[in-house]
Amino acid sequence: MVSHPVKLRGLVFDGATGAPLAAQRGAPAFIERQDQEFVQALFGELRSEEGRKALAGTLISDGTRTPQGLKLLQPVHGVFNVALLEACCDVFGEPRVEATRIESAGLVIRRVGAGNTREAWVRRDGKIAGWVALEGEEQERDPDPGRRDGPAGPGPADVRRELLRLMRATSRDQESVTSLFIAPPDACAAAKRTVLYGLLQVASGEAPERASSPGPAFDDAQVRSLLSPYFAAGKAVDWTGLEGLSVTYQDVAQRGLPQATHDKLSLFIDFLRGLVAVFDAFQTPALMTAMNRVQLDNGNGQLRPAGTTLAGLAEVLVQGKTGTVVLPRAWTHPNTADAARILQAAKAATEPRMRDLIPPERRFERRGSRYVARAFIRVHREEGCPPAIVWSEESAPFTIAAWHERGKLPPVLITLPSLKDLSAFKPNVTFQVPPGLNELLNKNSPKDFLEGSASPPAAGQGIGWLCGFNIPIITLCAFIVLNLFLSLLNIVFFWIALIKICIPIPASLRERFED
């Protein structure tokens, strides 16, 4: 078998003649399809001159690097992005490569990192490791680590080592690959090209395993700002008006204190909320120990550890526990050494807290990231030699539209029930209401909830209920409430003209939409 050098490059078609053309720079070409059976439609268009002209009209990237950049829509927008390439011999005349010579083919999506580096989405030891920077020759290696191993068996060790080096067997990382497929023989013959196509993956729920990804963390400046001014060295605390103040949760919720006192107390309560929510401070022994080095003055010469004191205050002022708490007579500022201990303990406490609250970053989650696509084929060689990998050039960089951005398809149509049909509706969904929830709703009015004075249900009392509702009627109620709130919030956001467009039903569609 004669092995000519092989070239993999993007494929486009002339819109006037349907003639096949090489994409700019040899980069993968992208077409955008809105048909549900886009693969069969693609094959049909490849088979005829008129079809290839139509195919040219779906082109969104011919490989040119455009200054304004390329933005790809997601499947949620009703759009599928397809990469189109051809395999040809890199000799005079560039004859097409026989499909039987292609052992396998694929497409990788790489993220553009800092300094215009490239990052690959990889698995390591069977687990998702996430985006990993590629350096130098790593961009050319086979995505499958199993194919990077050189030939085993007898032979000079230095020769095998050189083979391993040439095949770039440098890592166990397995890069995520989307399969490329060869178009049917008749479609390739009609286009006079060996056509390869594959779906560009621009949406994914994949995320790194927690064990293989570093958790998010605050830096020192952020932690210091959350502790300021109460546990920050060199900061003054204005405690005037709070000395020995007796207060309940209702005093704060119902604003029963003088305005100046309420404002200072609100700042202090925000600090307590941060200790609870951000640091889980009162359940973290190391942070409690650090805070307890500060002694707060409770009057009459009594000193109490700050951590213990703040834990009691938080139970009432943050968590709403019934009772009255008494604030310290004065706020004792930590010295520089104690402030540093508290800072480091608080920073350490954020790590498990962040892991509990913030999941690892998903593959395409980062807004504004740029990506490039690169295709490869593995080509059979002479008997006894493993297939050789041949890479295309990189595609033009692209970003991915967020799911909420406007697509190209009409919006989903939801038919609301007519008001004259309301008596015909019956419950079509049943909620199981626990006793506590039922008692909470029955013993409190809407006004109680709005004022923050709703009473919790008594423990162990009441009975459970099964409550039936009609979903279409609930949808109608939600539509009415939505319109009311949109109108109210329009005073602030001025968004009605952007998010609500109402037009009368045309006469030609009345049969479709009206009774």
pLDDT classification of 460: cutoffs 50, 70, 90: low
Confidence of residue 155 (pLDDT cuts 50, 70, 90): low
Q: For the residues of 440-484, what is the DSSP string, one character each?
A: HHHHS-HHHHHHT-PPPPPTT-S--EEEEE-HHHHHHHHHHHHHH
Lowest mean pLDDT among 6-10, 255-259, 427-431: 255-259
Tokens of 512: 């479709």
H or E element in which residue 411 lies: none
Rounded mean pLDDT, 203-231: 83
Secondary structure (3-state) at 402: coil
Q: Which residues neighbour 9 within 8 Å (Cβ) at sequence distance 6 or greater?
A: 22, 23, 26, 27, 85, 86, 88, 392, 393
Q: Domain locations in the chain?
A: 6-211+365-400, 220-357, 419-513
Q: What is the pLDDT of residues 94-133, one digit of tens each?
A: 889 999 999 999 999 999 999 999 999 999 888 899 999 9
Angle in degrees, 0-180, between the axes of helices 306-317 and 259-277, rounded to the nearest 10: 110
- Interatomic CA distance for residues 507 and 492, integer angstroms: 36
Q: What is the mean pLDDT of residues 422-427?
A: 82
Share of the chain above pLDDT 70, in %: 93
Distance CA 59, CA 37 (A): 17
Averaged pLDDT for residues 29-55:
94
- The secondary structure of residue 257, as a DSSP letter, is S
Q: What is the pLDDT of residue 1?
A: 45
The stretches of 358-470 forming alpha helices (DSSP H) are 435-443, 446-451
Give the pLDDT score at 486: 86
Using one digit for the tens of pLDDT, what is the confidence trace for 446-458?
888 877 778 888 7
State yes or no: pLDDT of 139 exceeds 70: yes
Q: What percent of the chain has pLDDT over 90?
A: 50
Asked whether the predicted pLDDT for residue 337 surpasses 80, the reply is yes
Q: Give residue 57's pLDDT.
A: 94
**According to the model, what pLDDT value does residue 157 have?**
56
Is 274 a residue whose pLDDT tops 60?
yes
- pLDDT greater than 50 at residue 200: yes
* CB 94, CB 60: distance < 8 Å: no
Per 3-state DSSP, the chain is made up of helix, strand and coil in percentages (nearest 5) of 35, 20, 40
Which residues are CB-neighbours of 406 under 8 A, at least 6 positions away? none
DSSP string, 238-253: --TTTTT-EEEHHHHH
Place of tokens 């059976």: 37
Name the token pair of 359. Answer: 């999941």
Q: With H, G, I as helix, E, B as strand and everything else as coil, classify residue 174.
A: strand
Please report the pLDDT score of residue 166 as a whole number.
60
Greater confidence (499 vs 373) lies with: 373
Where does 258-411 have alpha helices with state H? 259-277, 285-291, 306-317, 336-357
- Specify the pLDDT at position 355: 80
pLDDT of residue 464: 86
Residue of higher predicted confidence among 60 and 159: 60
pLDDT at 3 over 70: no
CA angle 108, 111, 112 (to 5 degrees): 130
pLDDT of the residue at 71: 94
Verdict on whether the full-model pTM lies above 0.85: no
pLDDT, mean of residues 210-214: 61
Where residue 12 falls among pLDDT bands split at 50, 70, 90?
Answer: very high
Query: 36 is written with which tokens?
Result: 């549900």
Distance of CA 340 to the CA centre of its chain: 35
The rounded distance, in Å, linking the Cα atoms of 287 and 280 is 9
* Whole-angstrom distance, CA of residue 377 vs CA of residue 391: 7
> CB within 8 A of 279, min separation 6: which ones?
226, 287, 346, 349, 350, 353
Of 11, 422, 406, the closest CA to residue 188 belongs to: 11
Nearest to 399 by CA among 152, 111, 169, 147: 111
Does the pLDDT value for residue 240 go beyond 50?
yes
Closest CA to 7 of 193, 243, 164: 193
β-strand pairing of 295-297 with 303-305 = antiparallel
**Partners of 130 in the beta sheet?**
122
Q: Which of 153, 167, 108, 145 is nearest to 386 (CA)?
A: 167
Per-residue pLDDT tens for 290-318?
A: 999 999 988 777 899 999 999 999 999 99
> Average per-residue pLDDT in the chain?
87
